[in-house]
């Protein structure tokens, strides 16, 4: 059985030509998150990386001290009751987070952010690296074998963390790009992987939320197969995040950080000049 079958279901369909077919659709389940016995949120998720998703979500929402040692955290996911229970030391819980103020983000499935989106983002502009066109093409080529659930059933987004050599460290698919990003953030935290020198890839839009998550992870290169929003660009400029969108095959558009891109694979005309 395909390893992705547990995240999809077979349904009977009828197409425009009257043909009945059994097709795969992506599974989606509610997962209610509890932090020290307090109900926080219900996430709609495919469930492929539930433990990492929950930890990444709570960490990115600043609901517990990000400097907390992962060994002090316990996570129990019970799909029989669709719940995830996270236990941390009481003094590690951030009581200042305003759970009453929610922002419904532009993520697929409508992600939820607690408190002010930007007020608590106390981050300095990231060191902006110089990257080459050939490295961008290499990164995109490394991502080709992934997106297995998307190929089988669609209705998901994928996110990846790439290392300094543009090799894939993690790849996560979920029903929302915000879920996949939080799962990778959780994996980074558990594995003590830092964002410096890393690249982050998503199949989804580069909205303000995705740029914020990139900044929270300390990642200065954000690569997307899709488009961008104006606020995403504004935040990228503020925090020195290189934005590469519409990236697929041998094509990309730089929305921020153009001066840091080396075009070393430009096509040449018959006179040997760059076209």
pLDDT in single tens digits along all 275 residues of the chain: 344 568 888 999 998 899 999 988 888 899 999 999 999 999 999 999 999 999 999 999 889 988 899 999 999 999 999 999 999 999 999 876 655 544 334 344 445 555 555 666 767 899 999 999 999 999 999 999 887 766 666 667 899 999 999 999 999 999 888 999 999 999 999 999 999 999 999 999 999 999 999 999 999 999 999 999 999 999 999 999 999 999 999 999 999 999 999 999 877 654 455 54
Query: How far is Cα 87 from Cα 161, in angstroms, rounded to an integer?
Result: 27
Domains of the chain: 29-114 (3.10.20.10), 131-262 (3.40.140.10)
147-173 in b/e form (b: 16+ CB < 10 A) is bbbbebbeebbbbbbbeeebebebbbb
Q: Give this prediction's pTM.
A: 0.84
End-to-end Cα spacing for the chain: 49
């Amino acid at each position: 059985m395909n390893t992705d079958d547990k995240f999809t279901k077979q349904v009977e369909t009828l197409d425009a030509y009257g043909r009945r077919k059994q097709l795969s659709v992506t599974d989606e389940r509610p997962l209610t998150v509890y932090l020290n016995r307090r109900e926080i949120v219900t996430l709609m998720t495919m469930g492929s990386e539930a433990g990492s998703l929950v930890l990444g979500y709570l960490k990115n929402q600043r609901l517990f001290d990000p400097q907390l040692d992962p060994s002090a955290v316990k996570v129990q996911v019970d799909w029989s009751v669709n719940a995830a229970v996270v236990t941390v030391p009481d003094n590690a819980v951030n009581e200042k987070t305003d759970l009453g103020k929610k922002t419904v983000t532009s993520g697929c499935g409508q992600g939820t952010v607690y408190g002010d989106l930007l007020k608590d983002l106390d981050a300095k502009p990231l060191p902006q690296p110089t990257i080459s066109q050939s490295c961008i093409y290499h990164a995109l080529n490394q991502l080709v074998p992934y997106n297995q659930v998307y190929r089988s059933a669609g209705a998901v987004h994928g996110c990846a963390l790439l290392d300094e050599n543009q090799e894939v460290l993690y790849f996560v698919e979920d029903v929302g790009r915000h879920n996949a990003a939080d799962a990778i953030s959780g994996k980074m935290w558990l594995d003590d992987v830092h964002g410096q020198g890393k690249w982050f890839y998503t199949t989804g839009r580069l909205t303000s939320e995705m740029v914020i998550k990139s900044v929270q992870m300390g990642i200065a290169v954000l690569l997307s197969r899709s488009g961008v929003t104006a606020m995403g660009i504004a935040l990228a400029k503020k925090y020195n995040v290189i934005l590469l969108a519409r990236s697929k095959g041998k094509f990309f558009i730089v929305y921020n950080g153009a001066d840091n891109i080396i075009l070393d694979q430009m096509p040449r005309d018959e006179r040997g000049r760059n076209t």
